[in-house]
Amino acid sequence: MRPNDADSPRARDPVLLLLSGGVDSTTLLADLSRQGHPVIAVTFDYGQRHAVEVLAAKKFAQRYAVAEHLIVHLDLQLGGASTLLAAALPVATFDGPLPSGPVDTYVPARNLTFIGHAAGLAEARRIRRIIVGFNADDATNYWDCSAEFVERVNATVQLGGGNAAQVEAPYLQMTKAEVAARARHLGVDLTETVSCYAPIDGVACGRCLSCRLGGSELSR
Ligand SMILES: [Zn+2]
């Protein structure tokens, strides 16, 4: 996030934020809110097993007084292609080194779907910036969180012409731990964010990839 953004002429332009209710997007919400941007938050309810994150997104949207909170319901019809979509399948846990390639919690082309829809919402509302909460750790396991993905999806959206929105990922160079530090700096209550893929009675499992990257104490 650019430190002097609040002073820029664009500071009061509305932005569209993909808000999952996890650490990254919630910290972005706090950042954008501090900068004085009217935020249109978009949360996707797509049949994820950790649907409790949608509730967290609603809570944070209220707390940071977003201009509008859109909950988009998607029926992806992807069956058991991801453990995030199939509650009967166990989410992989990691006690040792973390994986460097694709993982069971990958949802096929999910972020392409999300950003595609967000581009439509932005175009309909004449919003010029779409903000997403990818971080450097995400790109290790999910191709649709990488810098190259952001660059190419941007190129595609820009085909829409001069009024097309720009997709921005301000935390793309930051690790999950650095985002968490930013969250603490901004006073975000991390215990209320939801990043765990498989919470047990609302409490983070501590062993899934997301918990291991973010620290289980960060999410519930
Ligand atoms: Zn977990």
Could you read off the pLDDT of 10-62 as tens digits, one per residue? Answer: 567 899 999 999 999 999 999 999 999 999 999 999 999 888 999 999 999 99
pLDDT score of 216: 45
Distance 219 CA to ligand 1 centre (A): 8
pLDDT confidence of 219, banded at 50, 70, 90?
A: very low
Distance 159 CA to ligand 1 centre (A): 39
Confidence check: pLDDT of 195 > 90: no
**Domain 5-89+106-189 listed as CATH 3.20.20.70:** no
Distance 94 CA to ligand 1 centre (A): 10
- Separation between Cα atoms, residue 122 and residue 40, nearest integer Å: 9
HSE-CB of 125 using CA atoms within 13 angstroms: 22
pLDDT confidence of 1, banded at 50, 70, 90?
A: low
The mean predicted confidence, pLDDT, of the chain is: 91
Of 1-5, 36-40, 138-142, 211-215, which range is least confident?
1-5
Distance 149 CA to ligand 1 centre (A): 26
pLDDT score of 11: 62
Distance 11 CA to ligand 1 centre (A): 36
Distance 47 CA to ligand 1 centre (A): 17
Determine the angle formed by the axes of helices 23-34 and 52-63, rounding to 10 degrees.
10
Q: Where are the domains of the chain?
A: 5-89+106-189
Average pLDDT of 201-205? Answer: 85
| pLDDT tens per residue across span 73-96 | 999 999 889 999 998 999 999 999
- Separation between Cα atoms, residue 108 and residue 175, nearest integer Å: 23
Confidence check: pLDDT of 217 > 50: no
Distance 206 CA to ligand 1 centre (A): 5
Average pLDDT of 121-129? Answer: 96
Confidence check: pLDDT of 109 > 60: yes
With a pLDDT cut of 70, the percent of the chain lying above it is 92
Query: Mapped to the 3 state alphabet, what secondary structure does the chain carry?
Result: CCCCHHHCHHHHCCEEEECCCCHHHHHHHHHHHHCCCCEEEEEEECCCCCCHHHHHHHHHHHHCCCCEEEEEECCCCCCCCCCCCCCCCCCCECCCCCCCCCCCCCCCCHHHHHHHHHHHHHHHHCCCEEECCCCCCHHHHCHHHCHHHHHHHHHHHHHHCCCCCEEECCCCCCCHHHHHHHHHHHCCCHHHCCCCCCCECCECCCCEHHHHHHCHHHCC
With a pLDDT cut of 90, the percent of the chain lying above it is 77
How many other CB atoms sit within 10 Å of the CB of residue 26? Answer: 32
Distance 118 CA to ligand 1 centre (A): 27
pTM over 0.75: yes
Distance 157 CA to ligand 1 centre (A): 33
Strands 129-131 and 15-18: parallel
